[in-house]
Amino acid sequence: MDPKTLSYHSDSQVEVKPAVPAGPEHTPRMEVLKGIAVSQGIVIGRIFVLDADARHIGRHHVHRDAVDTELSRLDLALRKSREELATVFKDAETVMGVDAAKVFLFHQGMLGDKSLIGPIRAMISSECVSAEHAVSRVLGEWSERFARMPDTAFRSKVNDLEDLQERILTHLTGERRCQLAQVPQGTVVIARDLTPTQAISFDRSRVLAFATDLGGKTSHTAIVARALGIPAVVGCQTLTRLAMDASSIIIDGDRGVVILEPNEETLDDYKAAIKKRQRARVTVGEDARLPAYTLDKVPVQVLGNIEFPQEIPSLLDEGGEGVGLYRTEFLYLASAKEPTEDDHFAAYERCVTLLDGKPLVIRTVDLGADKYTQERTEVPERNPFLGLRSIRYCLRSIPMFKTQLRAILRASALGPIKVMFPLITTTNELRHAKLIVHDVMEDLEEEGIPFDRNLKLGMMVEVPAAALMADTFAREVDFFSIGTNDLIQYTLAVDRTNERVAGMYNPLNPAVLRLVRDTIRAARRHEIDVSLCGEAGGDPEIALLLIGMGLRTLSVSAPAIAPLKRLIRGVSLTQCERLARKAFSFDSDVQVAAYLRDRARKIVPEAFDGRSVDDADPGSGRDPI
Ligand code: PEP
Ligand code: MG
């Protein structure tokens, strides 16, 4: 399945009018909800509210003589679940690639986890209850415990547990619940939460998108949505309370916005935006693969961000000139076990082959904070974003780090690869990480394994300490990649995953802009490459500003590539520089935003027609990432 063709959906399949087919007391009223954007694309459709009704499995006692029978029934249900998951994995692999499909191997792994399954067996034996009751009690209690954890990493595993519970119960009761079988075309599924199995089983000819009350950017359901190209917004909190079955809805998966019962004006705006994208999509291909130059002939390189290798073909179709950020931690997040050196190598080799000579920037694993391995979710931290995450974790897990580096180095013999370290905060960390790379190089040399001896080593600049010390760091790396997603959160002390402070998360805050500008300047002074791979680079207004600040390489998500290249072709560097100079004269994000909004539309009006930002924006801030 080609995610490119799935990213944006025409509203032609479903005729949505602002008037809502509702009861006599219902007055349609537009409601705009802000959630977390997890999978891009805009759709207009009709709501199907998926009930969260858990199965009611009462406490059912069995005679002591029947305990063995219950244990055998459990074993049979577990075996059938394992076999079924093997099939689901195979099917998923064909539609979304092996790495994302490993979500289902993760579920298989849970079936073999003694700490989950052992207590089910123990409860059947000690309390003489039915297998169904023991499964729903034990897994239900685990889900509740995880849901109460303050840590998002735990909460993101709740729907995996619920998914597994539902699968085992289906095999025990023989009753498959499938509310989604008969949804009409043009459906947008609304649910309190969704499991990865529900997401992959959507009939893609009928289900256009989904949105949920719960969920996070790195949950397995979000991974499945992105891999399938289904637009999705999660973490909308009150959505199921407000959503009316069969009423109209807009899902803006680019900005994490859900609009219930949109008014005529908003519908028209979004219809125009969808049409514009469709038109643009038709013309993508002609000039998409050509480099982008400004009107005064300055080249700006546009690369893409990926989580899985199979995203590369659509990234290239959109005009991506390579991969500027490969988030390799997704190899860990989708899988039940730690990837081996060969797992890493296979993924990198696939990237190099698909890129066919185009550059690939591999970021070493960025685990921790909201991206945990299964094992690490068992040891929660009080402040995970300030905790043992990212390069800090790698430097405490040297065998794991070396495994990845060996695979990257081996792959570097096959094509142009660069490596960068995330979250570098101190020079000691950087030096330690480089030392380990050189250790691994020596090992490979001794073993006679080929690799690129001139492999370029870079770092992400995503904490203020790194930006402030950019001059020092620039002497020790080959390139910088500015990670605004984290840089914003650490500069402004705003958790990027917390929707309650989403309005304060603003890339246009002058403090953030100064750190970005100073990093670019330091890189230029020291003649090293500098790019930006945060989501902010895909925002047309901000992109103009960044080019004006001296940036010549941007790495953005695939759908943002083609519009960005068109934008670059429609402006001159002189205009961007003037825009940047003026933007730096303001002392508040509100002023910067107002100025940019006005100027950008005057410089390149064609890039901003269609959807109006203000109409649907519920808060002053931009999207949390
Ligand atoms: C960033 O922080 O800007 C970034 C690109 O990395 P991630 O979003 O994976 O933290
Ligand atoms: Mg980051």
* pLDDT tens per residue across span 478-492: 999 999 999 999 999
**How is residue 473 written in tokens?**
């760091």
Pocket test for ligand 1, best of 306, 392, 486, 622 (most atoms within 8 A of CB): 486
Task: Indicate which residue's Cα is closest to atom 7 of ligand 1.
Answer: 485
Average pLDDT over residues 69-89: 94
Task: Indicate which residue's Cα is closest to atom 9 of ligand 1.
Answer: 327
Sign of CA dihedral 270, 275, 279, 282: positive
Instruction: For residue 484, give the ligand 1 atom closest to its CA.
Output: 3
State residue 13's pLDDT score: 36
List, in order, residues 6 or more apart from 179 with CB less than 8 Å away: 50, 51
The residues that are catalytic are 220, 533
Residue with tokens 């924006």: 617
**In contact, 323 and 380? CB cutoff 8 Å:** no
Other CB atoms closer than 10 Å to residue 28's CB: what's the count? 17
Residue with tokens 């060996």: 406
- Identify the bridge partners of residue 293 per DSSP, sorted by sequence position: 299
Which ligand is closest to the CA of 326, given by its number? 1
Cα 485 to averaged position of ligand 2 atoms, centre (Å): 6
Cα 368 to averaged position of ligand 2 atoms, centre (Å): 11
Give the helix ranges, DSSP H, for 243-382.
Answer: 264-283, 312-317, 330-333, 341-355
**How is residue 49 written in tokens?**
């509210």
Report the SS3 class of residue 529.
Answer: strand
Cα 275 to averaged position of ligand 1 atoms, centre (Å): 31
Q: Among 37-41, 96-100, 105-109, where is mean pLDDT lowest? A: 96-100
State residue 145's pLDDT score: 85
Pairing of strands 232-234, 36-39: antiparallel
**In contact, 471 and 586? CB cutoff 8 Å:** no
Other CB atoms closer than 10 Å to residue 280's CB: what's the count? 14
Average pLDDT over residues 444-459: 98
**In contact, 302 and 321? CB cutoff 8 Å:** yes
Radius of gyration of the chain (CA): 25
Residue with tokens 């407000």: 242
Q: Among 7-11, 367-371, 402-406, where is mean pLDDT lowest? A: 7-11
- Give pLDDT tens digits for 175-219: 766 666 678 899 999 998 888 888 888 888 899 999 999 888 777
Average pLDDT over residues 401-430: 98
Instruction: For residue 533, give the ligand 1 atom closest to its CA.
Output: 5
State residue 15's pLDDT score: 47
Interatomic CA distance for residues 162 and 168, integer angstroms = 10
- Give pLDDT tens digits for 300-353: 999 999 988 988 998 999 999 999 999 999 888 777 678 999 999 999 999 999
State residue 623's pLDDT score: 34
Does residue 485 have its Cβ closer than 6 Å to ligand 1? yes
Sheet containing strand 257-260, edge to edge, reads: 31-34, 257-260, 248-252, 42-50, 187-191, 207-212, 232-234, 36-39
Cα 624 to averaged position of ligand 1 atoms, centre (Å): 12
State residue 399's pLDDT score: 97
Residue 376 has pLDDT above 60, yes or no: no
Binned at pLDDT 50, 70 and 90, residue 7 comes out as very low
Residue 616 has pLDDT above 70, yes or no: no
**How is residue 281 written in tokens?**
């999509």
State residue 262's pLDDT score: 96
Helices 114-127 and 131-148: crossing angle, nearest 10°?
Answer: 130
Binned at pLDDT 50, 70 and 90, residue 59 comes out as confident
- Identify the bridge partners of residue 210 per DSSP, sorted by sequence position: 189, 232
Average pLDDT over residues 588-592: 96
Which ligand is closest to the CA of 534, given by its number? 1
Binned at pLDDT 50, 70 and 90, residue 421 comes out as very high
Interatomic CA distance for residues 94 and 84, integer angstroms = 16
Interatomic CA distance for residues 385 and 369, integer angstroms = 5
Average pLDDT over residues 139-163: 82
Average pLDDT over residues 407-418: 98
- Please provide the DSSP assignment of 156-195 as one string: TTHHHHHHHHHHHHHHHH-----GGGGPPTTEEEEES---
Task: Indicate which residue's Cα is closest to atom 4 of ligand 1.
Answer: 483
Residue 45 has pLDDT above 80, yes or no: yes
- Give pLDDT tens digits for 257-312: 999 999 999 999 999 988 887 776 666 566 778 899 999 999 999 999 998 898 89
Average pLDDT over residues 493-497: 87
Domains, the chain: 3-54+178-262 (3.50.30.10), 64-173 (1.10.274.10)
Does residue 491 have its Cβ closer than 6 Å to ligand 1? no
Pairing of strands 42-50, 248-252: antiparallel
Instruction: For residue 485, give the ligand 1 atom closest to its CA.
Output: 3
**In contact, 485 and 479? CB cutoff 8 Å:** no
Does residue 261 have its Cβ closer than 6 Å to ligand 1? no
Instruction: For residue 369, give the ligand 1 atom closest to its CA.
Output: 10
Interatomic CA distance for residues 145 and 135, integer angstroms = 15
Binned at pLDDT 50, 70 and 90, residue 27 comes out as low
Cα 119 to averaged position of ligand 2 atoms, centre (Å): 38
On average, the pLDDT of the chain sits at 87
Question: What are the φ/ψ torsions at residue 257 (nearest 5 degrees)?
Answer: -120, 140
Query: Would you give the distance in Å from CA 572 to the centre of its chain?
Result: 32
Does residue 335 have its Cβ closer than 6 Å to ligand 1? no
State residue 89's pLDDT score: 92
State residue 373's pLDDT score: 59
Residue with tokens 């008014």: 263
Which ligand is closest to the CA of 217, given by its number? 1
Residue 37 has pLDDT above 70, yes or no: yes
Apex CA 105: angle with CA 389 and CA 419, to 5°?
A: 40
Cα 258 to averaged position of ligand 2 atoms, centre (Å): 25
**In contact, 29 and 614? CB cutoff 8 Å:** no
State residue 144's pLDDT score: 86
Task: Indicate which residue's Cα is closest to atom 1 of ligand 1.
Answer: 483
Interatomic CA distance for residues 72 and 368, integer angstroms = 39
Residue 252 has pLDDT above 90, yes or no: yes
Interatomic CA distance for residues 166 and 160, integer angstroms = 10
Query: What are the C-alpha distances in Å from 205 to residues 201, 208, 238, 245?
Result: 12, 8, 28, 19
Pocket test for ligand 1, best of 460, 482, 546 (most atoms within 8 A of CB): 460
- Please provide the DSSP assignment of 67-106 as one string: HHHHHHHHHHHHHHHHHHHHHHHHHHHHHHHHHHHHHHHH
State residue 25's pLDDT score: 54
Other CB atoms closer than 10 Å to residue 245's CB: what's the count? 11
Closest to 289 (Cα-Cα) out of 615, 577, 565, 620? 565
- DSSP E strands in 308-416: the ranges are 323-327, 360-363
DSSP state of 375: G
State residue 431's pLDDT score: 98
Cα 466 to averaged position of ligand 2 atoms, centre (Å): 13
Task: Indicate which residue's Cα is closest to atom 6 of ligand 1.
Answer: 483
Residue with tokens 């009423």: 247
